[in-house]
Structures are given as structure tokens and as C-alpha cells.
Amino acid sequence: MSEASNPLPVAAWAAGSDAPELREVRIGFIPLTDCASVVMASVLQFDRKHGIRIVLSRESSWAGVRDKLVHGQLDMAHVLYGLVYGLHLGIGGPKQDMAVLMTLNQNGQGLTLSKALAARGAVDAPSLARLLAAEGGAHRFAQTFPTGTHAMWLYYWLASAGIHLQRDASVVTVPPPQMVGHMRIGHIDGFSAGEPWNHCAVLDGVGITAATSQQVWPDHPEKVLGCTASFVDEHPRTARAVTMAVLEASRWIESSAANRQRTAETIAQASYVGTGVAAIGPRLRGDYDNGLGRRWQDAQALKFFDDGAVNFPYLSDGMWFLTQHKRWGLMDEHPDYLAVARRINQIDLYTEAARALGINLPAQPIRRSRLIDGVHWGGADAPAYADAFELQGMPPAALHAA
């Protein structure tokens, strides 16, 4: 990361000709630990510092977030990266030009298997593959939205062990807060979702953590601050002001252990996530318990800032989700991957906001990563990357289950 240069005066955005076009901004969120930076931007009044007031709206499902964004009932949202990209191309919802203002977090999601499966020996992807081969395909796994991040972590993790959902099991869409309840009654055998719901499954004794999303892709992109492209076009100064407020909250959360604790206590309240602090705090600190007696401190747990490395909207991050949408049959043809990412990810706007706050910026809008199966991704030759996976395709019904 290179040091941001020539920081702009923060107060300039809140007054005069640079004042935000709107005074209030309606931002939706799903009750997940990683809504924290959006919530704390409001609670700590970083929004007021930048001339706006964030009006938070707790939503019950990603489909609801999608619909409210498209129809203008929300201005922005804490939203799945892949949902935004899918909408832009007309998959997983009505086609709508979309925008990503910043990445909200990396890591911190989970892949949970039921205690019933664990009792029969399925505690990770390879052992799950052996059990599915022995028992047949009458098993059901849940993700949170067909084009979203959790669906992609689930499919990629299973495929890394040779498990193909179309052949070996089935997939359904379940809103994150309902995952544990569905597992408790035996409706699903496993799920991919954000925290605290994986940890809740462990605490409730109904599930085990078979893997974390950071095992699938270390420092992967997760939620974004998303909106329609028309919102940015019509309210660019408002979009920049919100980005700055959330960036300040992201930096604040990671500035001390006390701030992380206050964050856990705040978002645990009923108006936000609505669980006890015990469900949120440990994994927010990186303290993991898999439900089978293994405990560890995860060096790549949920990140909100990491000196700005988390928040830059890398083009290669957005492109990756498109490669997986193509891989799993959600798109028939290859799009122009780079052109789509350049249209959606608001790099110029983010750069202005980061420089105004003295936050580091990367030298390039592309980054290179190595995933669980050893395959590297760096944004080059996306069609070849998407087509190179041995396991391809997905149950058609999954796209329509949202």
C-alpha cells in the first residue's frame, strides 16, 4: 500500500458547494456482525461530521434488500458483493445499473455442518465428501442468496473436495437469521452464512464450524456499501460523505480492543443483530471454537479496515464473483469482466474519500490471491479462469429460490 497524498480538509465536504445533496441517507443492513461499520458510523455520529444523517433500516432478507434498493426505498445498503454484480447483469433480480462505493469487510463468514452429520464423521469437506458418497444425495445445504458471497463460498468449498451440488446434494436459500432454526428442525444439513449465526449454531449445540470463509480465500472481499448507479450519478457528494463516515467507523473499530468490545455490545442490541454479546464478541476478536473441542485464535478473522487494505474496491474482487456466476451456470455467456467491474466499482469516488481522511491507497486496482484449491486469481484472462474448473454448473432451481 502506498501512502495517500495531499489529504483534503474533511470539513470541506460538509459545507459550501461541496455539501452533500441529501441530509438523510437510508441505509439497509442485515443482522450480521459485519454490519458493524455502517451501524457505528451512525451511532458514533461520524455521519454528522460529514454533513449527513444515516437512517438505518434493519432488513430481514437479502431479497428484501435487493428489492428496496431497486425500487428506491433504500438509498444504500450493507450488501453482498455478488448480489450487486448479479443485479447489474440481471441475474438474481431485475437488471439495474449498480455501484460499489467501498468494501466493508474481509473474512469472518462460516461453513457450518449439523451435529448430526458430525456424529457420522462429516467434520470438514473431505469427510463430508466421503459421507455423501456413502449415503447418497438426500442432503440439503443452505446459502443466503443465489448470486451472493455465501453461495460462492459454499460451492467453492464443496467443489474443492469434489462435491457437486447438482449431483451430490441440494441447495436452498435461507435468510441468515433463520439458519440455526432451520438446522435445529433438520430442514438443512449445513449452511454458509455470516457471523454470528455460525457461532450461534455452535453455542446452541446444533452445528459445528467445518470451515471459515478465510480458509476458502484468505482476506476475501465480503460485504460492500452498495447502491444504484443512478444514486451516485444524482448524489455524488452524498455518496462520498457516506463513504467517508463509514471509513472513519471502520478505522475506529480496529483502533483498540476496547472499541471492538463496544462494537460487539452495540450491535448485539435488538435494533441491530439482536443476540447476546457472547454470540458476537469471540469471533469479532478472532476467538474460534468449532463445537468439537478445537479452539484457536484466527489471524485472518473479520477485518473492517486493516490500514485501508480492506476497503478499497478492487476491480479483481468484483470480477471474481462474475467468474463464479459463469462457472455455476448463472450466466450463459462470458461478460466483459473488466468493463463491468470498472462500471460498478467507484474507484475515483473512493480515492477522493480515502485521501481526504489520509487513508492508504493501493498502487493498482487489481490484487492477486490464492484460494483453498491452490488456484491463483489475479484478474487476468477471466474467461479462461472461469472455464478451467473441473466442476461446473448448478441446480437451476437455486437461482429462483430467492
- Tell me the three state secondary structure of residue 143: strand
∠ CA 389-323-340, rounded to 5°? 160
Place of cell 429460490: 401
**Joined grid coordinates for residue 290:** 468449532
What SS3 class is residue 53? Answer: strand
109-219+386-400: same fold as 10-106+221-314+333-365? Answer: yes
109-219+386-400 maps to CATH 3.30.70.1280: no
C-alpha cell at 81: 458483493
Query: ∠ CA(106), CA(108), CA(113), 5° rounding?
Result: 140
pTM, rounded to two decimals:
0.94
Residue 1 CA, distance from chain mean position: 22
Report the C-alpha gap between 153 and 147 in whole angstroms.
11
CATH tag, 10-106+221-314+333-365: 3.40.190.10
Distance, in Å, from the CA atom of 195 to the CA atom of 125, rounded to the nearest integer, reads 20
Phi, psi of 133 (to 5 degrees): -65, -35
| CA distance to 161, 203, 225, 270, per residue, from 148 (Å) | 21, 26, 14, 25
Positive/negative CA dihedral, 65, 69, 74, 78 = positive
Phi and psi torsions of 159, nearest 5°:
-65, -30
Burial 376-402 (b: 16+ CB within 10 A, else e): ebebeebeebbeebebeebbeebbeeb
C-alpha cell at 75: 438509498
Q: Transcribe 343-382 into DSSP letters.
A: HHB-HHHHHHHHHHTT--B-SSS---EE-TTS-EESSSSH
Per-residue pLDDT of the chain (402 residues; tens, 9 = 90+): 333 333 333 444 444 568 999 999 999 999 999 999 999 999 999 999 999 999 999 999 999 999 999 999 999 999 999 999 999 999 999 999 999 999 999 999 999 999 999 999 999 999 999 999 999 878 999 999 999 999 999 999 999 999 998 789 999 999 999 999 999 999 999 999 999 999 999 999 999 999 999 999 999 999 999 999 999 999 999 999 999 999 999 999 999 999 999 999 999 999 999 999 999 999 999 999 999 999 999 999 999 999 999 999 999 999 999 999 999 999 999 999 999 999 999 999 999 999 999 999 999 999 999 999 999 999 999 999 999 999 998 645 544 444
The structural domains of the chain, with segments of one domain joined by +, span 10-106+221-314+333-365, 109-219+386-400
